[in-house]
Amino acid sequence: MKRAKRNPLLARLAARLELSLEVRSQTAALPRPADLRRWSQAALQAGVKQAQVSILIVDADEGRQMNRDYRGKDYATNVLSFALNEGDPVPGLPLIGDLVLCAPVVEKEAAEQNKPLQAHYAHLLVHGMLHLQGFDHEQDDEAETMETLETVIMQRLGYPDPYQEEQF
């Protein structure tokens, strides 16, 4: 926030996002809160004037339970997104949603895909933030739009295309 105080543009961008973080994972390899904020802000689309987002980082058991309870899938997944009103804007309200990242799944995927852990966390947070804003990947055209947007955001953040075949 120190940089935002010196730069009016950064201050305005920071004011757009109210972010809360809760960590329930025992892993030591978590992103810094400042990085979570930077990645989340980068994913906010121009039409979003204000956002209130909660990030919860969980272990595998809780991630599995949440995925089973909310999606009917009995395994832990990397990121879950819960948007107020399913991502459709509610007039007069900010974008409101929750993101759940399962730390052991994120770590395992990063290792399997030969990606730096922080880059994978950044990608999953960007992916989840886009879901909160109504983007989806159920249909091929939706997936292409969302993946292209993710790639652009990740490159702006200084990371390579998360969908390229050859990783780092």
Is the CB of residue 51 less than 8 Å from the CB of residue 95?
A: yes
Residue 120 in marked binding region: no
Quick one: which of 149, 166, 145, 155 has its CA closest to 119? Answer: 155
Residue 127 in marked binding region: yes
Residue 123 in marked binding region: no
Between helix 33-43 and helix 117-132 the angle, nearest 10°, is: 40
Rg (C-alpha) for the chain, rounded Å, is 16
Between helix 117-132 and helix 140-156 the angle, nearest 10°, is: 130
CB neighbourhood size of 15 (10 A): 11
Strands (E), the chain: 17-23, 51-58, 79-83, 95-102
* Residue list, annotated binding site for Zn(2+): 127, 131, 137
* Residue list, annotated binding site: 127, 131, 137
